[in-house]
Chain A
Amino acid sequence: MGFFIEVLIGGLLSGVLYSLVALGFVVIFKASGVLNFAQGSMVLLAGLAFVRAQAFLGETFPFWISVAGGLAFAVAIMVIVAWLVEKFVLTRLINQSSLSLFMATIGLAFVIDELSQIAFGSEVYAVKIGIPREPIIVLTGLFDGGVLLNSVDLWAAIIAACLVLILVVFFQKTGTGLALRAVADDHAAAQSVGIPIPWTWLIIWSVAGLIALAAAVLWGTKVGIQYSIVFLAMKALPVLILGGFTSIPGAIVGGLLIGAGEKLAEVFIGSMIGGGIEYWFAYVVALIFLMIWPQGLFGERLIERI
Chain B
Amino acid sequence: MAQIERETNGQSGIGTTPILSVNNIEVIYDQVVLVLKGVSLAVPRGGIVSILGANGAGKTTTLKAISNLLKSEKGLVTKGIIEFDGRRVDNTTPNDLVSNGCVQVMEGRHCFAHLSIHENLLTGAFTRRNGKAAIQRDLDAVYEYFPRLRERRKSLAGYVSGGEQQMCAIGRAMMSRPKMILLDEPSMGLAPKIVEEIFGIVKTLNEAQGVSFLIAEQNTNMALRYATYGYILETGRIVLDGSADDLRQNEDVKEFYLGIADSNRTSFRDVKSYRRRKRWLA
Q: Which residues of A contact B (CB under 8 A)?
A: 94-95, 175, 178-179, 181-182, 184-197, 300, 303, 305-306
**Is A192's CB under 8 angstroms from B123's CB?**
no
Which of B3-11, B106-114, B144-152 lies at the interface? B106-114
- Bound together, the chains give a CA A178 to CA B172 distance in angstroms of 14
The winner among A181, A187, A189, A303 for most chain B CB atoms within 10 A is: A189
- Bound together, the chains give a CA A181 to CA B126 distance in angstroms of 13
- Say yes or no: is B205 at the interface (Cβ < 8 Å to chain A): no
CB-CB under 8 A from A305, the residues of chain B are 158-159
- Say yes or no: is B103 at the interface (Cβ < 8 Å to chain A): yes
Which of B13-21, B94-102, B236-244 lies at the interface? B94-102
Write the nearest CB–CB distance from B42 to chain A, whole angstroms.
22
CB-CB under 8 A from B124, the residues of chain A are 193
Choose one: B67, B115, B189; the contact of A182 (CB below 8 Å).
B115
The winner among B93, B94, B98 for most chain A CB atoms within 10 A is: B94
Closest 10 CB pairs of A and B: A194-B98, A303-B158, A189-B110, A194-B127, A185-B112, A196-B95, A303-B113, A194-B95, A182-B123, A191-B94
Choose one: B93, B103, B104, B156; the contact of A196 (CB below 8 Å).
B93
- Say yes or no: is B122 at the interface (Cβ < 8 Å to chain A): yes
**Is B114's CB under 8 angstroms from A191's CB?**
no
Instruction: Kindly report which residue of chain B lies nearest to residue A199, judged by CB atoms.
Output: B95
Choose one: A175, A193, A306; the contact of B98 (CB below 8 Å).
A193
B side interface size, CB within 8 A: 34
**Is B94's CB under 8 angstroms from A194's CB?**
yes
**Is B126's CB under 8 angstroms from A193's CB?**
yes
Could you pull out 27 A-B pairs where Cβ atoms are within 8 angstroms? A95-B72, A175-B122, A175-B126, A178-B119, A179-B126, A181-B112, A181-B115, A182-B123, A185-B112, A185-B113, A186-B111, A186-B113, A189-B110, A192-B69, A192-B98, A192-B103, A192-B104, A192-B110, A193-B173, A193-B176, A194-B99, A194-B127, A195-B123, A196-B93, A196-B94, A196-B95, A197-B72
Instruction: Kindly report which residue of chain A lies nearest to residue B96, judged by CB atoms.
Output: A194
- Say yes or no: is B74 at the interface (Cβ < 8 Å to chain A): yes
Instruction: Kindly report which residue of chain A lies nearest to residue B172, judged by CB atoms.
Output: A193
With A181-B114, A185-B112 in contact, do A194 and B126 touch (Cβ < 8 Å)?
yes
CB-CB under 8 A from B115, the residues of chain A are 178, 181-182, 185
With A182-B123, A195-B123, A303-B159 in contact, do A189 and B112 touch (Cβ < 8 Å)?
yes
The winner among A179, A187, A194, A197 for most chain B CB atoms within 10 A is: A194
CB-CB under 8 A from B126, the residues of chain A are 175, 179, 193-195
CB-CB under 8 A from A179, the residues of chain B are 123, 126
Write the nearest CB–CB distance from A212 to chain B, whole angstroms.
26
CB-CB under 8 A from B127, the residues of chain A are 193-194
**Is A303's CB under 8 angstroms from B95's CB?**
no
**Is A194's CB under 8 angstroms from B111's CB?**
no
- Bound together, the chains give a CA A303 to CA B156 distance in angstroms of 10
Write the nearest CB–CB distance from A99 to chain B, whole angstroms.
17
- Bound together, the chains give a CA A260 to CA B253 distance in angstroms of 71
**Is B106's CB under 8 angstroms from A188's CB?**
yes
Instruction: Kindly report which residue of chain B lies nearest to residue A187, judged by CB atoms.
Output: B72
Write the nearest CB–CB distance from A145 to chain B, whole angstroms.
49
- Bound together, the chains give a CA A303 to CA B114 distance in angstroms of 8
- Bound together, the chains give a CA A181 to CA B112 distance in angstroms of 9
**Is A192's CB under 8 angstroms from B158's CB?**
no
Choose one: A184, A194, A303; the contact of B103 (CB below 8 Å).
A194
Write the nearest CB–CB distance from A244 to chain B, whole angstroms.
14
Instruction: Kindly report which residue of chain B lies nearest to residue A172, judged by CB atoms.
Output: B119
**Is A188's CB under 8 angstroms from B95's CB?**
no
Instruction: Kindly report which residue of chain B lies nearest to residue A246, judged by CB atoms.
Output: B114
CB-CB under 8 A from A188, the residues of chain B are 69, 72, 106, 110
Write the nearest CB–CB distance from A28 to chain B, whole angstroms.
17
**Is B176's CB under 8 angstroms from A194's CB?**
yes
Binary interface encoding of chain B residues 157-176 relative to chain A, with 1 for a CB under 8 A from any of its CBs, else 0: 01100000000000011001
